[in-house]
Structure 1
């Protein structure tokens, strides 16, 4: 291996490279994803933290989910790690139920898997992302 070359966890296990579809299938098998209505009810009951990782242009175009914590994807692990020095006040512990929301439910799956690696074992993501939320007629503000 060339010095400084990144090694994937699959390569470490001797499984070799995988395509994105297979990777999504693998990470999603590690937790139960949630539908929009379930995420809404859990957040409303104070049982889940909704985390919107969509980039600013999408939030500006489509609106926001009221009460969702907005965290840019590249800051997610730093903001939600309960042990981190840059954590958000909402990152209260490893038992926190987090529902990650991207635009259509793909990037959020990889983000939830990353949170699992930090010990946030109840992290999940929203099937269909923000677009499913909006299609379900759930609250959105501009």
Structure 2
């Protein structure tokens, strides 16, 4: 018992406990943010599973450049329009760089859409991969 109550050992035990919690945290939050898919995975999901692409950017950005098959639903309107999205198909959320789309996955999950993904790197990664975009 003296071994555990020694001040040096308590410090080591506390550090080990904190490190363990930090290692486990990503697994607790894994399902909330949704998995990011690469551009090639997104193309495969659209072709094989008829995945729906939702562009979360504003209308001006969407008109400037967007993925041809995507629908524009700004992030602020997603909660109101999520009911119109199919629940039996994967939904891939697209933003400018892939960072802000992960927040919107929780909105889709709340509406019963379990297969919600984000496009890794967003529309920027799509264009860097030389994949087709439409410009209005």
Match of 2:100 among 96, 99, 107: 107
The offset of 1:46, in angstroms, is 4.6
| Contact 1:27 1:113 (C-alpha < 8 Å) held by counterparts | no
Label 1:135 to 1:69 Cα distance change in 2 as closer, same or farther (>3 A).
same
Query: Which residue pairs with 1:78 in the alignment?
Result: 80
Label 1:131 to 1:28 Cα distance change in 2 as closer, same or farther (>3 A).
farther
Q: Who wins on radius of gyration, i.e. which is larger?
A: 2
Label 1:122 to 1:71 Cα distance change in 2 as closer, same or farther (>3 A).
same
Give the superposed CA RMSD: 2.1
Aligned counterparts of 1:45 and 1:106: Cα–Cα separation in 2: 26
Query: Which residue pairs with 2:46 in the alignment?
Result: 43
More strand as a share of residues: 2
Consecutive unaligned residues of structure 2, counting only runs of 5 or more, are 1-25
Deviates more, 1:124-133 or 1:109-118: 109-118
Query: Which residue pairs with 2:22 in the alignment?
Result: none
Aligned counterparts of 1:65 and 1:45: Cα–Cα separation in 2: 17
TM-score by length of 1: 0.67
**What count of residue pairs does the alignment treat as equivalent?**
108
Consecutive unaligned residues of structure 1, counting only runs of 5 or more, are 1-24, 82-86
SS of 2:36's equivalent in the other structure is: coil
